[in-house]
């Protein structure tokens, strides 16, 4: 947060000189009653003005899945002759220039953060199970990705509980102590102060967390509650099937590994109807389409951003993207742009000069959403498609 805005907000004193409950000393007459009414309305307007400051434009950047190694199972590193737990600052360094101009940064924290004992998650000989817990230093590394911005970690995903319930609590504690804001832990939107008295809300959903994705009426209600409070709301959705066969975004409930993974199209539509300005998707581990819904922008999946560890980094799973946009005072999204990224095994990310991520999203947006899909230039600018 620039200029210590968060500190000033948390330590500001109440407007004790504006108390609408105090009596106004006018005589008991028609004139007096009118004066009292006018004074009361003026005072109420003053209070309302004090409570609703002018909103500022917010520069927002979001990336997909971030998992910076796991200390629960390091056998993969022996097999691949790789470092199991490299310095997280080293892994994040190539990302920093892509988000240097942001006021707010949102990342999907794919895995717990902590150390010590954790209950076993994966059965012996399992081939479709990953137990992800990142080392404690990851929390501070995420916070210092951009010291002049607020960093938000989304824990509404299928790996936040990989170290058990206690592991999730430790994850939240370590992120909070490092200064990272947390979303997706419950049904309340995270308050993100972007200026003196100006706050936006961020709300995370997944099939595995309290704020679930299946009950669309509840989704609308929760987002609407956040919009009523904050005015501008960003929603995350960890949703959909996984892998190279899941690049397209179907308007139907997806199932993967026996789990119901939700309907990304219907969920995003419900979130926008509730008042969301931006809907940011993760979960499929590949890039998906981007579409417009009125003035709101929906990114159905930003794919893998930095996934260091025992993962597949071939084909489309190594393509990623960072989406940056301006969120206007009225909640409209504009000046949106994509920055392509690419990974080399076992998870070293770098900016992609070939712009493969932009190419992927552009093609998928045309194919999956012929009417609402975004038009994306070769350099990543996200525009509306001409009618």
Give the tens place of pLDDT for each residue, 159-204: 999 999 999 999 999 999 999 999 999 999 999 999 888 999 999 9
In angstroms, the CA 384 to CA 143 distance is: 33
* Shared-domain flag, residues 26 and 92: no
* Shared-domain flag, residues 47 and 63: no
* Shared-domain flag, residues 45 and 174: no
* Shared-domain flag, residues 109 and 46: no
In angstroms, the CA 42 to CA 47 distance is: 9
Q: Provide the total of helices (H) and of strands (E) in the chain, helices listed first.
A: 9, 20
pLDDT above 80 for 302: yes
* Shared-domain flag, residues 340 and 196: yes
pLDDT tens track for 235-280: 999 999 999 999 999 999 999 999 999 999 999 999 999 999 999 9
pLDDT > 70: what percent of the chain? Answer: 86
In angstroms, the CA 64 to CA 302 distance is: 5
User: Does residue 316 lie within any of the structural domains?
Assistant: yes
User: Does residue 332 lie within any of the structural domains?
Assistant: yes
* Shared-domain flag, residues 28 and 64: no
Q: What angle do CA 331, 336, 338 make, to 5 degrees?
A: 140
Query: Nearest-CA neighbor of 68 among 159, 197, 179, 4?
Result: 159
In angstroms, the CA 367 to CA 373 distance is: 8
Q: Is 379 helix (H, G, I), strand (E, B) or coil?
A: coil
* Shared-domain flag, residues 37 and 87: no
User: Does residue 180 lie within any of the structural domains?
Assistant: yes
- Number of domains forming the structure of the chain: 2
User: Does residue 268 lie within any of the structural domains?
Assistant: yes
pLDDT band at 42 (very low <50, low <70, confident <90, very high): very low
* Shared-domain flag, residues 166 and 35: no
In angstroms, the CA 153 to CA 68 distance is: 13
- Other C-beta atoms closer than 10 Å to the C-beta of 132 total 27
From 54-58, 149-153, 217-221, 331-335, the region with the lowest mean pLDDT: 54-58
User: What's the distance, CA 63 to chain centroid?
Assistant: 8
Q: Is 291 helix (H, G, I), strand (E, B) or coil?
A: strand
* Shared-domain flag, residues 45 and 191: no
User: Does residue 125 lie within any of the structural domains?
Assistant: no
In angstroms, the CA 42 to CA 338 distance is: 47
State how beta strands 58-68 and 104-109 pair: parallel
Count of alpha carbons within 13 angstroms of residue 367, beta-carbon side? 12
pLDDT above 90 for 134: yes
Q: What angle do CA 335, 273, 292 make, to 5 degrees?
A: 30
pLDDT band at 127 (very low <50, low <70, confident <90, very high): confident
In angstroms, the CA 108 to CA 206 distance is: 11
In angstroms, the CA 57 to CA 350 distance is: 29
Count of alpha carbons within 13 angstroms of residue 197, beta-carbon side? 12
* Shared-domain flag, residues 111 and 31: no
User: Does residue 13 lie within any of the structural domains?
Assistant: no
Note down the domain range covering 309.
58-117+130-383
Query: Nearest-CA neighbor of 187 among 159, 220, 152, 160?
Result: 220
pLDDT band at 51 (very low <50, low <70, confident <90, very high): low
In angstroms, the CA 283 to CA 227 distance is: 25
CATH number of the domain to which 180 belongs: 3.60.21.10
User: Does residue 10 lie within any of the structural domains?
Assistant: no
* Shared-domain flag, residues 254 and 159: yes
User: Does residue 6 lie within any of the structural domains?
Assistant: no
* Shared-domain flag, residues 110 and 202: yes
């Amino acid at each position: 947060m620039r200029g210590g805005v968060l500190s000033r907000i948390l330590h500001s004193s109440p407007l004790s000189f504006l108390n609408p409950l105090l009596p106004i000393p006018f005589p008991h007459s028609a004139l007096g009653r009118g004066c009292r009414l006018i004074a009361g309305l003026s005072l109420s307007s003053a209070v309302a003005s004090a409570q609703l400051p002018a909103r500022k434009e917010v520069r927002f950047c979001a990336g997909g899945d971030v998992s910076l190694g796991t200390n629960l199972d390091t056998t993969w590193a022996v097999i691949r002759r790789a470092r199991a737990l490299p310095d997280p600052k080293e892994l994040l360094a190539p990302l920093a220039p892509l988000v240097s101009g942001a006021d707010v940064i949102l990342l999907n924290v794919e895995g717990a953060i902590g150390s010590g004992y954790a209950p076993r998650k994966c059965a012996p000989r399992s081939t479709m199970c990953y137990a992800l817990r990142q080392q404690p230093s990851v929390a501070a590394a995420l916070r210092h990705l951009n010291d002049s911005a607020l960093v938000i970690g989304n824990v509404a995903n299928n790996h936040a509980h990989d170290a058990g319930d206690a592991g999730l609590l430790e994850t939240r504690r370590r992120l909070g102590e490092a200064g990272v804001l947390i979303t997706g832990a419950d049904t309340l939107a995270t308050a993100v102060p972007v200026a003196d008295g100006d706050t936006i809300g961020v709300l995370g959903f997944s099939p595995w967390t309290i704020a679930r994705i299946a009950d669309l009426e509840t989704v609308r209600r929760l987002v609407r509650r956040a919009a009523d409070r904050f005015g501008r709301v960003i929603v995350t959705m960890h949703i959909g099937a996984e892998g190279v066969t899941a690049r397209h975004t179907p308007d139907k409930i997806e199932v993967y590994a026996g789990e119901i993974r939700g309907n990304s199209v219907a969920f995003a539509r419900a979130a926008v109807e509730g008042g969301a300005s931006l809907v940011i998707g993760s979960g499929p581990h590949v890039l998906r389409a981007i579409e417009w819904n009125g003035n709101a922008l929906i990114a159905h999946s930003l794919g893998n951003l930095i996934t260091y560890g025992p993962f597949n980094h071939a084909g489309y799973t190594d393509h990623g993207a960072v989406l940056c946009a301006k969120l206007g005072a009225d909640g409209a999204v504009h000046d949106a742009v994509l920055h392509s990224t690419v990974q080399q095994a076992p998870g070293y990310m770098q900016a992609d000069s070939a712009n493969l991520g932009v190419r992927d999203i552009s093609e998928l947006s045309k194919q999956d959403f012929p009417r609402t899909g975004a038009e994306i230039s070769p350099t990543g600018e996200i525009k509306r498609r001409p009618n």
